[in-house]
Amino acid sequence: MTSDIPPQLNLDARWDACHDLALRRCIYSSFAGVASAFVFFKGPVTRWATVAFATGLGVGSAFADCSHIMEGAFPNLRRPTGSHSQTTNLELRTEEQP
């Protein structure tokens, strides 16, 4: 049975690819974090921090690749260019003490 939906409009296949990519990268980076934590660090806090950092790298890279797969369907979280001028024009008002 063939589908008449063009591949660029087939959201099911793209979501499946994103879920597969995110799951694999999260698991693989977590395993890499666990292995490097046991090799390089002794304390439990630094080991957990290493695992969390590695997992975050995997999730971040999966999000970046999924946004390319979805062709920009995810929101762009960059700071707008006009917001810097708004924050610099704020004035601090202080009350003078007698």
Percent of the chain exceeding pLDDT 70 equals 63
Give yes or no for a contact between 51 and 37, defined as CB atoms under 8 angstroms apart: yes
Predicted local confidence at residue 90, as pLDDT: 47
Q: What is the mean pLDDT of residues 34-58?
A: 92
Give the span between the Cα atoms of 73 and 45, in whole angstroms: 37
Q: What is the mean pLDDT of residues 69-80?
A: 64
| Angle formed by the axes of helices 44-69 and 11-40, nearest 10° | 160
Kindly report whether the global pTM for this prediction surpasses the value 0.75.
no
Predicted local confidence at residue 79, as pLDDT: 57
Q: What is the mean pLDDT of the chain?
A: 77
